[in-house]
Amino acid sequence: MPQPPISEAAPAKINLTLHVTGRRADGYHLLDSLVAFADVGDGLLATRAGISSLTLEGPFGARVPADRDNLVMKAAALVPGALGLAFTLEKRLPPASGIGGGSADAAAAIRAAIRLDADDAGGMPARLAALDADAVLDLGADLPVCLLSRPARMRGIGERLDYLPFPEAPILLVNPGVEAPTGAVFAALAAPDNPPMPGALPVWADVGDLARWLAGQRNDLEAPARAIVPEIGAVLAALSAQPDALIARMSGSGATCFALFPDLAAARRAGVAISTAHPGWWVAAGRLYPADAIEAARINQLMRSTT
């Protein structure tokens, strides 16, 4: 009997902080970043087939490669025995936008390939841990944290992960429709050696507590990104002007920015206001997951299918 298709969520990765703390001799930058995942993202469908393939759908499907240069295909190849897999990627996140869309898609492909393996010995965490860590990191600094999609402190070049407790946080994501080239943003950074976050992170009671703490932290890439993509400043101004916004900041290397809100209704109201004023911008309201985004997405999908 043919195995049914596997559905995997690819949640957006949000850098709530991004401190650039150094640069290695090989040119890679060292980071100290608080990362969380949203219930906004791409979707991936995978099934066994005679030949490996990738079909792109969704509002941003035409803006990413559909061949083996796509991270979905490269990532699936890291799973032993992952041959003859047909993927359909619903691309809902704008590409090259600082919210880890490509890495999230790659992580989803790896999880889907493992789930399609009839010999799923040891379960998902064990199979992920058995992957070639260097090969995973070579595909992108965000890929390790996207594999489990849990709130984490990410350090080194992306390989040092400390998972942590996290409050559910309503969020609004806004992108001006302009790509911020990651390499150029890092190259424009004034200094690569900046202070890290505190040695011990607090346990945040709620989103307000989190926002107050974030106000004392940074995204060191925001200034160079704004110099390259001035539209980022307009997005941050629009987010900050919303009456219930707790904090507004850029994610990753841009150009997507976010604001946290006390509740989802406030985030949605702000999204409507910004979409009305700027109809060409990409706007999405949602929540940051307090724990495992992948498991939460599967539970939500199951609940929808039974109602």
Q: Which residues are catalytic?
A: 13, 142
- What is the per-residue DSSP string for 210-253? HHHHHTT--BTTHHHHHHH-THHHHHHHHHHTSTT-SEEEE-TT
Written as six digits, the tokens of 253 are 């290397």
CA distance 155 to 141: 10
Element at 194 (helix H, strand E): none
Among candidate residues 88, 95, 18, the one with its CA nearest the CA of residue 49: 88
Say what angle helices 231-240 and 264-277 make with each other, to 10 degrees: 130
Among candidate residues 151, 140, 128, the one with its CA nearest the CA of residue 79: 128
